[in-house]
Structure 1
């Protein structure tokens, strides 16, 4: 199952952090084997979120070894001989034991060469990743270009990420309807006090409630995201109680993950 996360506006909807949260929650809550990867050149947020700077030198060196391979290794394999699930295993980093994995982004200096190669070989990489894992989560970035268009075609589901900005929502619903049967929606950095809360957005844009989730802003999660400690944060707060300051965030993150997996037919 290939699930793409995307937004029509840059840097506002929390697309990357939403993806990481949902993917890790899918592995922790439902024990699905998940793979996380990013396709666009120049997106390094996933590296910073998933590489724990507090771990010892040996682990950092091991991560660095894979980092120099990652998607670049998979592209080389695909170009030379074709790609297998063993290649995916070799090119990824395990971030939750036996459950969650990450394919590090390119470290190549040439945007043009990388983009040409990824256009030609993205499909084979996604297919191999999908054979390796139960769920492949793809950060498709923002806006529409040739790479994101190919991801939309390949994806089984597209998670459209908004913030509570009516302009971005209006633009999307006026312009993007091609893949409507694949779409679900997330509101990131969510504030229920906004006029554009989930109930009103559902009514205004005629979104079925079963296709809409929210992920509230949480300073602890954002700090962990910037420090490479997302896995640690989610594990330590997974069973937090109602009085805990992170309870609302974890509750809604679990609910959004459940919504996406339910729409995919993977949970009841």
Structure 2
């Protein structure tokens, strides 16, 4: 199953950050094989966030990642197993990352994209593939991925100057959103804002089951900057909720898990959780 993470504007809706939190939490909570990648033609926040876990710094001559995928696809040698061979393990047997193409050549990327998506979604490869695509409506690679996606996660914020033009379905609204399953994710969510999830859902006629958020959390921002995402999420997911007491870690964890559940429900995927596997 392919999930495209997209946003209407660049740099304001936390698309990559949201995808990292949701996918990593899903991998920690469930026995499910997930691949993370992106279509950006430059070094991405995705790769930077996991830098300390990456096994080796790869040069352009010996690169795996999307460069390796390109070479295999050119020779008609791409298989599900070789997709996995070119990915880097982040959580063993659960979460892998495929680094982006270093050449910055969109024509190369476009030429291999259909075959890559086909092979990566086979049972021998991954059950879920999350692809962070460039914002806006004019990026050809983004449009190609969204056309093939089983679900599109539209990342938005709490800024009316972004929300109103987008939901007016003008030029900022991709046509593909009218024919694909869509859920909305509010990035860097501030619960004290008057532009709450409920208000956004009501004003723009979104079902509550199709909109969630990833809260603003300074510890999560620090974890990205310091490249210890997995350690941070493992720590906050173990924090227990206390009666009548607000805890920022619990609020963050619950919201991210809810977004993960929305994705799995939309795709009708029911993987066993850690608790179900081990009691």
2:267 and 2:73 map into 1 onto residues whose CA distance is 28
Alignment of 1:166-185 (within 5 A): 166-173=160-167, 174-175=169-170, 176=173, 177-180=175-178, 181-185=180-184
Identify which range, 238-247 or 132-141, moves more after superposition: 238-247
**Shift in Å, 1:255:** 0.9
1:42 and 1:207 map into 2 onto residues whose CA distance is 34
Counterpart in the other structure of 1:101: 96
Q: TM-score, normalised by structure 1?
A: 0.91
Asked whether the equivalents of residues 258 and 267 of structure 1 are also in contact (C-alpha less than 8 Å), the reply is no
Counterpart in the other structure of 2:113: 122
Counterpart in the other structure of 2:226: 227
1:63 and 1:126 map into 2 onto residues whose CA distance is 25
Identify which range, 186-195 or 240-249, moves more after superposition: 240-249
Counterpart in the other structure of 2:213: 214
Counterpart in the other structure of 1:49: 49
Q: Give RMSD over aligned pairs.
A: 1.8
1:35 and 1:209 map into 2 onto residues whose CA distance is 28
For structure 2, which runs of at least 5 residues remain unmatched after alignment?
Answer: 272-279
Q: Secondary structure at the match of 1:137?
A: strand
Identify which range, 170-179 or 95-104, moves more after superposition: 170-179
Asked whether the equivalents of residues 191 and 217 of structure 1 are also in contact (C-alpha less than 8 Å), the reply is yes
2:266 and 2:17 map into 1 onto residues whose CA distance is 21
Counterpart in the other structure of 1:90: 85
Question: Which structure is higher in helix share?
Answer: 1
Counterpart in the other structure of 1:200: 199
Counterpart in the other structure of 1:257: 260
For structure 1, which runs of at least 5 residues remain unmatched after alignment?
Answer: none
**Shift in Å, 1:184:** 0.7
Identify which range, 225-234 or 165-174, moves more after superposition: 165-174
1:220-251 deviation line (CA, Å, top 9, x unaligned): 11111122211111112212122554111111
